[in-house]
Amino acid sequence: MAEEPKISIGQYSDAGPKDRNDDSYGVLIPDQPLLETKGIAMAIADGMSTSIAAKEASESCIRSFLEDYYCTHESWAVKKAAGSVLGAINQWLYRQGQVQYTSDRGMVSTFSGAVLKSGTLHLFHAGDSRISLLRNGDVEPLTTDHQIHISRSESYLARAFGIEPQLDVDYRSLSVVDDDILIFTTDGVHEHVNAQTIRTEIDNHGDDLDKAARSICKAALANGSADNVTCQIVRVDSVGIDDRDSYLKRLTTLPFPPDLSPDMVFEGYRIERELHASKRSQVYLAYDPQTSSRVAIKTPSVNFEDDPAYIDMFTREEWVGRRINNPNVVRLIEPKSKRNFLYYLTEFVDGQTLRDWIDANPEPPLVEIRAILDQIASGLRAFHRRDMIHQDLKPDNIIIDLNGTVKIVDFGSTHVAGLEEIASPVHRPDLIGTIDYTAPEYHLGYKPSKLSDIYSLGAIAYEMHTGKLPYGAGFAKKNDLEKLQYRPATDHRPNLPYWISGALGKAVAKDPRQRYDVLSEFLADLTRANPEFEPTEFRPILESDPANFWPWIAIGLVIVNLVLLSLLAG
């Protein structure tokens, strides 16, 4: 377990001179593992006074954000997770306002929320509530008030939850450090107290943040605030980031297993044989006497026993597998008892790798290729829906079982947006896929995306159709981006329909912006003729079929000579 972030909280809210208090606020600190993977959520909301159900609107914003954010996938990045929740909140408020209150102002509220995760503060904001940062004696607003001023005394909200079915929510992120103080206020407070007052009240009350929040609100009322007043103070006592020693200690809680051999009983499983071995890991076939079934056991290589980056990737592979449930992705199995060593279990897939299939089928029927690609894409979508990029899709990591079911295996290189936001003292390698199938943008320093996986699937599809790689080799270094040139699939398989060749070319375009955006479009273009790929100009035989150009020239010359001889003889 990582070092936990620690915060102190102070809160105060008052209706002021109004009959009701339409402000809402809250902080939620979850238990592990969500505390590490999702962080701490905090927010403030101010129901618009002219809204029929202002209090219900602000309460719904706070309650739904604090609860629903933690129901999103752990693998999702904070921005995606919170953004999806806030979009749903806005649409619900808007529909309620239209249906229940039959008014554009039925349920409207401002919202300013934040998620503190691994030393980074993620901010989400719409309206004129505010989040400020007190650091080194300076108070700095972190959000921008969405107000339109008609005169010095009159203004209205330019943006808020519940006004329109679609809402543009401001987002930004910044690093925070120990002792940073976040101040959440509604407009009834910050329009009537300045930064000096906020800083002084917090300094004067020391660790009693509740009293500091109360004093700030009372100061606003004393200065003439005629609105509800709410102040929530969150002090970051510790951002909760491991140092290298504690991080390595956490990773090495379980020792590496010993070498396994047939008939050995390991953790209750009887080893039958070794299925695969490389310098990085071993996979064994084992028998489980409790279920009378076979399982696969993957163990780390002792060559990396003191390598924290390797151990991190190995443990991540299991983490990823447990969060994906798809028939085209190998299924992980929960160990029947507490583990004493570092390893994980998967279902045993009896079959052949796609590499073996390609080698055994040099010119396979197009319908068989499409059937396999459809299943690979199904498994790949399961990763992408979880905000994950596989990053090492290749024929060796795809297995076809005896029933023809295709399964993706090996998740050690998977990029997980949510986990990448967790600070780590160890360096993870940037390029961890297999060169022949890795998208060229990795050499340009771009962040991985689903387009990178689409390139890998395109390269695999190209090889299934032609037996070759689209650029003749992989992009081993940046210089290869200019040196290696794409060859149309029809150069290797002339009888291939032009639209399939065109689809393959688009899938493996060097520039990711020229590739398919979604897998379904790629698969569709492999099935039916897309006019986009229809040949528009003549290609010389020397360019389109260089391997057969000179043999055809030789045949032509022989025919010409025979004709001339027959004419001379006549």
Q: What is the pLDDT of residues 380-398, one digit of tens each?
A: 999 999 999 999 999 999 9
pLDDT of residue 442: 82
Residue of 7, 63, 65 lying closest to 35 (CA atoms):
7
Instruction: Count CB-CB contacts under 10 A for residue 401.
Output: 14
SS3 244: helix
pLDDT of residue 65: 98
Q: Give CA–CA dist 191/198, Å, rounded.
A: 12
Q: Give CA–CA dist 202/233, Å, rounded.
A: 9
SS3 457: helix
Residue 316 gets the label, from left (phi > 0), alpha (psi -120 to 50) or beta, of alpha
SS3 489: helix
**Whether 288 contacts 278, CB under 8 Å:** no
Q: Give CA–CA dist 269/290, Å, rounded.
A: 9
- Is the confidence at residue 3, as pLDDT, over 50? yes
421-424 long-range Cβ contacts below 8 angstroms, 24+ apart? 421/77, 421/78, 421/117, 421/118, 421/120, 422/2, 422/36, 422/37, 422/117, 422/118, 423/118, 423/119, 423/120, 423/241, 423/242, 424/242, 424/247, 424/312
pLDDT band at 136 (very low <50, low <70, confident <90, very high): very high
212-219 long-range Cβ contacts below 8 angstroms, 24+ apart? 212/10, 213/10, 213/11, 213/12, 214/12, 216/12, 216/183, 216/185, 216/189, 217/12, 217/13, 217/14, 217/189, 219/192, 219/193
Query: Looking up tokens 């701490």, which residue turns up?
Result: 40
**Whether 128 contacts 49, CB under 8 Å:** no
Please compute the mean of the pLDDT values over residues 503-520 and round it to a whole number: 94
- Is the confidence at residue 542, as pLDDT, over 50? no
Same fold, 6-240 and 351-536: no
Q: Give CA–CA dist 555/95, Å, rounded.
A: 75
The rounded mean pLDDT for the chain is 89
pLDDT band at 567 (very low <50, low <70, confident <90, very high): low
Segment 80-128, tens digit of pLDDT: 999 999 999 999 999 998 877 666 567 899 999 999 999 999 999 999 9
pLDDT of residue 427: 66
pLDDT of residue 263: 95
Provide the token pair at 530.
């897309």
Segment 333-370, tens digit of pLDDT: 988 888 999 999 999 999 999 999 999 998 899 999 99
- β-bridge mates for residue 298, sequence order: 283, 344
299-307 long-range Cβ contacts below 8 angstroms, 24+ apart? 299/256, 299/257, 299/260, 299/341, 299/342, 299/343, 300/256, 300/257, 300/342, 300/343, 302/256, 303/279, 304/280, 305/256
pLDDT of residue 251: 66
Instruction: Count CB-CB contacts under 10 A for residue 381.
Output: 18
Segment 182-193, tens digit of pLDDT: 999 999 999 999
The domain 248-347 belongs to what CATH superfamily? Answer: Phosphorylase Kinase; domain 1 (3.30.200.20)
pLDDT of residue 430: 59
Domain limits of the chain? Answer: 6-240, 248-347, 351-536
Q: Which residues are catalytic?
A: 392
Segment 192-227, tens digit of pLDDT: 999 999 999 999 999 999 999 999 999 999 999 999
Segment 435-478, tens digit of pLDDT: 889 898 887 777 889 999 999 999 999 999 999 999 988 777 76
User: To the nearest whole percent, how much of the chain has pLDDT over 70?
Assistant: 89
Fold entry, domain 6-240: Phosphatase 2c; domain 1 (3.60.40)
Provide the token pair at 155.
């203004």
Residue 355 gets the label, from left (phi > 0), alpha (psi -120 to 50) or beta, of alpha
Q: Give CA–CA dist 32/10, Å, rounded.
A: 23
Please compute the mean of the pLDDT values over residues 65-84 and round it to a whole number: 96
Instruction: Count CB-CB contacts under 10 A for residue 50.
Output: 11
pLDDT of residue 103: 60
**Whether 374 contacts 366, CB under 8 Å:** no
- Is the confidence at residue 559, as pLDDT, over 50? yes
pLDDT of residue 543: 47
553: DSSP letter: H
Q: Give CA–CA dist 415/418, Å, rounded.
A: 9
Q: Poorest-confidence range of 64-68, 125-129, 241-245, 422-426? A: 241-245
User: To the nearest whole percent, how much of the chain has pLDDT over 90?
Assistant: 69
Provide the token pair at 562.
């025979």
- Crossing angle between the packed helical segments 209-222 and 195-205, to the nearest 10 degrees: 140
DSSP codes joined into one string, 403-422: TS-EEE---TT-EEHHHHTS
- Is the confidence at residue 538, as pLDDT, over 60? no
Class of 351-536 in CATH: mainly alpha
Segment 16-44, tens digit of pLDDT: 999 999 999 999 999 999 999 999 999 99
Q: Give CA–CA dist 513/543, Å, rounded.
A: 27
Please compute the mean of the pLDDT values over residues 290-298 and round it to a whole number: 94
